Chain A
């Protein structure tokens, strides 16, 4: 079965601090995604990537950077965390037929 893992699973950060969320997949998929989920907003696409060392902006990229150092790893970086970035973040990998999601990271910014 497809496997996507995320770390940490939960994090509390301070406003203005730097936060890095990590994602690792063992599916050998080319495409990887970062989404955030807030109550009432479904899933919103932040960044995605189709090859190592390249990332693309999604629909809500402001305040976020992404890094894809290898096919297996995809990170989401919040350089200056803000209260509005409190949310659950999901990473996914895709074989174009289906997206496989990780368990999510609950981020609370205080």
Chain B
């Protein structure tokens, strides 16, 4: 069973639009989430991390976390064609903080 589920699998937004990506864990022991971005043919690079309830903003990127529902979301405002990439959600558990599990990812396509 996939412990980290992401939706949608694919998302198309126009340039300048808002992209919203979701991630949920089925494991109640999850206590830390990350968002990584992977451009085609490249390795993943961390965008943001969050472990407290609420919201965290960095530039055009905002991450929300609801620990009760184990749901995190990533919102990209003013999307640019360069934001087109695979977005990976990752989580670690309080039972083993260093075992990091990734979801299958959301393919974001920003159309000029």
Contact = CB atoms under 8 A, between A and B. Distances in A.
Interface residues of B, number: 20
Contacts of A97: 49
Interface string A33-49: 10100001111110010
Contact of A42 (B43, B45, B99, B104): B104
B101 interface: yes
B88 A42 contact: yes
Interface in B84-112: 88, 90, 97-105
Contacts of A62: none
B46 interface: yes
B98 A98 contact: no
A74 interface: no
B33 interface: no
Interface string B26-69: 00000000101000001111100100000000000000000000
A41 B102 CA distance: 9
Main SS of chain B's interface residues?
Answer: strand
Q: What class of interface size applies to chain A in its complex with B? A: 20 to 34
Interface of A, secondary structure class, is strand
Contacts of A41: 104
Given A44-B102, A58-B99, 18 more contacts: A40-B104, A42-B88, A42-B102, A42-B104, A42-B105, A43-B88, A43-B90, A45-B101, A48-B98, A56-B99, A59-B101, A96-B97, A98-B34, A98-B49, A99-B36, A99-B46, A99-B100, A103-B42
Enumerate the 4 nearest inter-chain pairs by beta-carbon distance, A residue then B residue, closest first.
A101-B43, A42-B104, A43-B102, A98-B46
Interface of B: 6, 34, 36, 42-46, 49, 88, 90, 97-105
Interface of A: 31, 33, 35, 40-45, 48, 50, 56, 58-59, 90, 94, 96-99, 101-104
